[in-house]
Amino acid sequence: MMSYPIPVYTAQAVKDWESRWFVAGNSSYGLMQQAALMMANHLLGQLAPSRVCIWCGSGNNGGDGYLLAVYLSRHHTVHIYQIAPPASADALRACQAAIDAGISITNAPVVADVHIDAVFGNGLDRPLTDEMLVIVDDYNTHTGYKIAIDIPTGLHPDTGMPLPASMRADMTLCLMGYKVGLLTGCAKSHVGKLICLPLIPADDALITTAHIDNTLPTLPTRDGSRSHQHKGDYGSVMVIGGHPTMGGAVIMSAETAISVGAGRVTISTHPNHHPAIIARKPNLMVHDIDQMYEARPEHMTAICIGMGLGRDKWSLVVCDVYRQKLAQLTIPIIIDADALWCLAYCSNIRLPANAIATPHHAEAARLLGISADAVEADRIHAIRSLQSRYGGQWVLKGANTLTINMHGKIRICTLGNAAMATAGMGDVLSGMMAGILAQAPTTPIHQIVALHAYCGDVLSADGIVVDVNQMGRMASQTLKAIAK
């Protein structure tokens, strides 16, 4: 598991990086040879002797494929499907090297155990032609293990969206550095296992767009050295939500907050839900949300608001009252679910740095006044736009959740899985954030996102979907293990 910041780049940043390398006097063909050799060495340790078909395009990605064929042919039976003749000088030279090595070059794919996509690499940012779409479909229907060189053909290198279709890989060998499009949008459905093969050193002019960061948080331990402390020393959380007809979300959020170590948790919700809360979790305190004017959030050390709050006039009144109360506080405030719906109705509002909003793509779309598809089409742009318009810190939930902190730094969490796509998962995240930040308010939000996703990965082995009721327990066990 990657647990330290790893830089991620746009396609243009990588192209400029390569150009500076060549301007400095380094060989472009030498870099192609180095890329192919590193890929071959990696694959020789992964693949049993097998029949390999490499699908080569006309550009330098195809050139990588020709040279890869040369190096793999020492241990495998290799065929090259030449989709188009090589068009660049380096690709021509690589093609000749394959011919000289006696590699079979055909104008149609062959039956193989392994198919390697060397058609388009980092440079494709336009829709595929009809002819190319047929080839993509042909590749995807072939049986065998699929490997993409640099990025699957048809996947946008900056957004991770198909153009409009993409070859699917079981493994992607990413060259130079991680590209944004391998980690956002629909990438998880196309790239398979992602392996990065660095080729040259980063220079001072290289621009980083984001970082992969799966670091898990560390909380103060409750060992003998802290035995004089009491529950108030571990933070107080208020969970605000629960429309008269929707009480489950606040319960899940509050249960998670107390499971990750918060000393006290109060649920401000409609009285309809008080008996269920007390019966299910008697160590949670309750407050009548209709008595909002008497609420004292200033006594808390973290607050989360919005879970199951509803979307009607009553909800808007609750949000407006608490917005005014919370505006004077500097404690962490997590804004989730229906509070985000209310936020979309507020004009000219700016969130303070201590506010953390946690939308999924549809909620983000409502806040930005665009479609949910537009959010997914460029998630990096979407999270930047949210912060630019509203201020605060943001979590854009989804496959490879994004976070942006108060300094505008974006982190990508590569943990998590499709089994987490179930009701209540976002409520659990909000409670987890509130519970941890109540104890350690300087904890980076991306670390809490990573903990949430990690717990989902561990629990996903138990069923088709993750049991959200077990997330708090798993988070508690994980935090305890980290502390040791």
pLDDT digits (tens, 9 = 90+) for 350-376: 999 999 999 999 999 999 999 999 999
The verdict on 397 and 468 lying in the same domain is yes
At 249, is the secondary structure helix, strand, or coil? helix
Q: Is 288 a domain residue?
A: yes
pLDDT at 329 over 90: yes
Return the number of other C-beta atoms located less than 10 Å from residue 147's C-beta.
27
The verdict on 248 and 175 lying in the same domain is no
Return the number of other C-beta atoms located less than 10 Å from residue 422's C-beta.
14
Q: Is 16 a domain residue?
A: yes
Contact by Cβ (8 Å): 226, 290: no
- Amino acid at position 298, single letter: E
- Amino acid at position 333, single letter: I
pLDDT at 337 over 60: yes
Q: Which of 43, 358, 13 is nearest to 178 (CA)?
A: 13
- What's the CA gap between 14 and 35, in Å, rounded? 14
**Please, is 224 exposed, middle or buried when counting C-beta atoms within 10 Å of its C-beta (0-12, 13-18, 19+)?**
exposed
**The residue count for the chain:** 484
pLDDT digits (tens, 9 = 90+) for 250-302: 999 999 999 999 999 999 999 999 999 999 999 999 999 999 888 888 999 99
- pLDDT value for 292: 87
The DSSP result for 424-454, as a single string, is: THHHHHHHHHHHHHHH-TTS-HHHHHHHHHH
Mean pLDDT of 429-436: 97
Helix and strand tally (H, E) in the chain?
Answer: 15, 19
- pLDDT value for 293: 85
Total domain count, the chain = 2
- What's the CA gap between 105 and 83, in Å, rounded? 10
The token pair at 384 is 């930047």
Is there a cis peptide before residue 157, judged by omega within 30 degrees of 0? Answer: no
- pLDDT value for 224: 58
DSSP H/E element including 344 = helix 338-344
Q: Is 136 a domain residue?
A: yes
The verdict on 150 and 273 lying in the same domain is no
Strand order in the sheet with 333-335: 178-179, 6-9, 210-212, 410-412, 402-404, 391-396, 351-357, 333-335, 302-305, 236-240, 264-269, 285-288
What CATH number does the domain containing 245 carry? Answer: 3.40.1190.20
- What's the CA gap between 65 and 44, in Å, rounded? 15
The token pair at 335 is 């804004």
Mean pLDDT of 57-67: 97
pLDDT at 2 over 60: no
Domain end, chosen from 184, 206, 228, is at 206
The verdict on 81 and 159 lying in the same domain is yes
The verdict on 174 and 288 lying in the same domain is no
**Please, is 131 exposed, middle or buried when counting C-beta atoms within 10 Å of its C-beta (0-12, 13-18, 19+)?**
exposed
- Amino acid at position 307, single letter: M
- Amino acid at position 203, single letter: D
Q: Is 222 a domain residue?
A: no
Kindly list the distances between the CA atom of residue 418 and the CA atoms of 410, 415, 425, in Å, as whole numbers in the listed order: 22, 11, 12
The verdict on 153 and 256 lying in the same domain is no
pLDDT at 220 over 80: no
Domain end, chosen from 187, 206, 225, is at 206
What CATH number does the domain containing 61 carry? Answer: 3.40.50.10260
Return the number of other C-beta atoms located less than 10 Å from residue 134's C-beta.
12
The verdict on 154 and 274 lying in the same domain is no
pLDDT digits (tens, 9 = 90+) for 125-141: 899 999 999 999 999 99
Q: Is 144 a domain residue?
A: yes
- What's the CA gap between 21 and 202, in Å, rounded? 10
Who contacts 433 (Cβ-Cβ below 8 Å, separation ≥6)?
302, 304, 332, 334, 356, 358, 445, 448
The verdict on 200 and 244 lying in the same domain is no
The verdict on 181 and 246 lying in the same domain is no
The verdict on 176 and 270 lying in the same domain is no
Domain end, chosen from 164, 190, 206, is at 206
Split at pLDDT 50, 70, 90, the class of 219 is confident
pLDDT at 1 over 60: no
The verdict on 255 and 197 lying in the same domain is no
Range of the domain at 474: 236-483
The verdict on 147 and 93 lying in the same domain is yes
Contact by Cβ (8 Å): 139, 106: no
Q: Is 363 a domain residue?
A: yes
Mean pLDDT of 436-463: 94
Name the packing angle between helices 60-72 and 28-44 (round to 10°). 50
Beta-sheet pairing, 210-212 with 410-412: parallel
pTM passes above 0.85? yes
Q: Is 101 a domain residue?
A: yes
Q: Is 167 a domain residue?
A: yes
